[in-house]
Chains A and B, each alone.
Chain A
Amino acid sequence: MKIRLLDIAHARSGDKGDTANVGVIALEPQWYPLLERELTRERVARHFAGAITGGVERYELPNLGALNFLLHGALGGGGTLSLKTDAQGKVFSTALLRLELDVPDAEARHLRLPGAGG
């Protein structure tokens, strides 16, 4: 089934130069392994294709149930150079939470993901 990231994670984003960072945090600790497995660097790069000009890096923080993504070339030059409303990348957080993951029905039920029934 499709699971919207917004329903299983929260997030905060910020900037460093022309790079936006998005920290994605599992709403429940037992959902973190699913994020680590499914929310890959490639998956996030595909999500933001066309919206950023550089690559994507991913770091794992199992201690916080969180993944940290660096989105390069995301901010139109960044800082004061940028003409974007979101020049500091503050709402890349919720832009990422729009992403939908494919999760096997049985696993979704086992993990008691929102909307999984069971």
Chain B
Amino acid sequence: MTRVVRVASGQGFWGDWLEAPRRQADGGPIDYLMLDYLAEVTMSILQKQKERDPSLGYARDFIGAMESVFPAVAQRGVRVVANAGGVNPAACATAVRQAARTAGVSPNVRIGVVTGDDLLPRIDALLDDGHALANMETGEPLSTIRDRVLSANAYLGAPPIVDALRRGANVVVTGRSTDTALTMAPLLREFGWRLDDWDKLAAGIVAGHIIECGAQCSGGNCLYDWRTIPDLANVGYPIVEGHEDGTFVIYKHPNTGGRIDVHSVTEQLVYEMGDPHSYITPDVIADFTTIRLESAGPDRVRVFGITGRAPTDKLKVSIAYRAGFKALGTLVYAWPDAMDKARLADRVVRERLDRLGLQFETIHTEFLGASATHGALAGAVGDVPEVQLRIGVRGPDRKAVERFTREIAPLVLNGPPSVTGFAGGRPKVEEVVAYWPALIDKRVVTPVVTMDEP
């Protein structure tokens, strides 16, 4: 029998099911547990936490996840790869070490820490050296928002994770690694693929893309025949069974719910897809138009045929910056004529904001239950039982946004009738942290691997 490497997905974002990592570690044999915590805006949230407390700045859910899988890691040889380090991988490693001591497994836990992605301390030097860090979407140079930058991290690829595994780490904690690298690195390490074997690297990336959103490929959020997807309460998270030749099978543990078939995997493949010919990562460019899927039995899908080519000489950089303030207020209007009442209330609020002379970048109104998600495509609404009016504002002036939050509740007594649903109190003002995607030359970013041994 040919050798296989099993990489299990236990977390698709920070906020995913707390039960999933343990269920993956205990539900059947696996070699690696992959936990993805970082979305585009997560780094900025973590940066704010680190500013308040220098021992924070990582995904704290990860510590609970580690506690739940220590038996598998310390006794059964399961290795964990996670980008839980956020903007403070060293502090994350310290917290894992502490948890390992408390659990009595510290001697069996060797943590590899991947850093080098954090460009925040170097931003001015990089700009001075001619790296514009221009916005990939708008072309604007970073200098237009330089004084509002909160965090800046380059997306690192798989090689530093492979390095940590080679040095004996059984827990690898990274900062801003690509989501797909967390899956590709274990395959690269175990099969010893060459770093210019583009087709195999591309296969690793596709495997990563399929499982990086957790259950979203195993029956979660699956539109195809959704009523018949069994036992979502007990949904099984996906596992990659990787083969040396670059083919792999997506499956899940026995006795779990959900469904893995060609339909569920295809839905995940097209999720957040750009140009399918060029799925660009630091290590390889994968061609999604070459992916072949076939059923390989119940809840098993075989993936093969994938090709890739050499990557570019750039890394993507994720920059977060302060972009003003926003608030959202809601009220519910009931039958009869709920929609007309909600429309009138919206006009009243807007007229009052106008008379107060308040300036916003945008005021946005939606009618939930009528047109909030599909707009005019939803067609005419009848005399529905209720409509939720949802008004949002965004602008640079905190005081103006604050004043807006005082203009919703009064409508309960001085606006259109049949109004309710205001129990939540006054809307909260939120600072907007926006995302600025940029590119940087690879040669100026050096990944660093350090080992935290017992």
Q: Is A91 an interface residue (CB 8 A)?
A: yes
| Interfacial residues of chain B within 44-94, with CB under 8 A of chain A in the complex | none
Closest to A67 in B: B270
A106 located at the interface, meaning its Cβ lies under 8 Å from any Cβ of chain B in the complex = no
Interface residues of B in 355-393 (CB under 8 A from A): 362, 364, 366, 368, 372-377, 390, 392-393
Chain B residues contacting A18 (CB-CB under 8 Å) are: 137
Q: Is there a chain B Cβ closer than 8 Å to A11's Cβ?
A: yes
Q: Dominant SS at the A interface?
A: mixed
CB interface residues, B 279-331, toward A, < 8 Å: 288-293, 305, 323, 326, 328
CB distance from B435 to the nearest CB of A (A): 5
Q: Report which of B269, B271, B362, B368 forms a contact with A83, defined as CB distance below 8 A.
A: B362
CB distance from B220 to the nearest CB of A (A): 11
Give chain B interface residues in 414-437, CB to chain A under 8 Å. Answer: 432-435, 437
A83 close to B394 (CB less than 8 A): yes
Instruction: For residue A44, give the distance in angstroms from its CB to the closest CB of chain B.
Output: 12
Q: Which residues of A contact B101 (CB under 8 A)?
A: none
A51 touches B394 (CB 8 A): no
> Quick one: closest A residue to B379, CB to CB?
A98
Shortest C-beta distance, A47 to chain B (Å), equals 7
> In the complex, which of the residues B41, B269, B305 contacts A79, with contact meaning CB atoms closer than 8 Å?
B41
Within 8 Å of chain B (Cβ to Cβ): is A1? no
Cβ B376 vs Cβ A76 within 8 A: no
Flag if A63 contacts B267 (CB, 8 Å): no
Which B residues touch A76, using CB under 8 A? 362, 364
Question: Is B19 positioned at the interface, with any CB of A under 8 Å from its CB?
Answer: no
Kindly state whether residue A111 has any CB partner on chain B within 8 Å.
no
Q: Number of contacting residues on B, CB 8 A?
A: 48
Known A11-B223, A51-B375, A51-B377: A17·B267 in contact at CB below 8 Å = no
Docked CA distance A99–B26 (Å)? 45
Supposing A10-B263, A59-B276 touch, asked if A83 and B377 sit within 8 A by C-beta, the answer is no
**Which residues of the partner chain B approach A85 to less than 8 Å between Cβ atoms?**
366, 368, 372-373, 390
Q: Is A25 an interface residue (CB 8 A)?
A: yes
Given contacts A11-B223, A21-B272, A94-B223, A80 and B41 within 8 Å (CB-CB): yes
Chain B residues within 8 Å of A94, by CB: 223, 374
- 7 A-B residue pairs with Cβ-Cβ distance under 8 Å, sorted by A, are A17-B435, A25-B263, A62-B289, A66-B269, A68-B276, A78-B435, A98-B377
Which residues from chain B sit less than 8 Å from chain A, CB to CB?
40-41, 137, 221, 223-224, 263, 266-277, 288-293, 305, 323, 326, 328, 362, 364, 366, 368, 372-377, 390, 392-394, 432-435, 437
Give me 15 other A-B pairs in contact (C-beta within 8 A), A10-B267, A59-B277, A95-B375 excluded. A12-B221, A12-B267, A21-B274, A23-B271, A47-B377, A50-B376, A51-B377, A64-B288, A68-B270, A70-B274, A80-B323, A81-B432, A81-B434, A85-B366, A95-B377
Listed in ascending order, the chain A residues whose CB lies under 8 Å from chain B are 10-18, 21, 23, 25, 27, 47-48, 50-51, 59-66, 68, 70, 76-81, 83-86, 91, 93-95, 98
Which 4 pairs from chain A and chain B are nearest by CB? A23-B270, A83-B392, A14-B272, A83-B364
